[in-house]
Amino acid sequence: MTEAATPTERVLDVREIPPYQRHEIIPRLFDQLGVGATMQIVVDHDPRPLRQFFASVHGDDCQWTYLEQGPEVWRVQLRRAA
Phi, psi (deg, nearest 5) at residue 7: -55, -30
Position 4, amino acid: A
pLDDT digits (tens, 9 = 90+) for 2-40: 455 555 789 999 999 998 899 899 999 999 999 999 999
| Cβ neighbours around 78 below 10 Å, total | 25
pTM: 0.84
Domains of the chain, start order:
10-80 (3.30.110.40)
Is the confidence at residue 1, as pLDDT, over 50? no
Cα distance between residue 7 and residue 16, in whole Å: 23
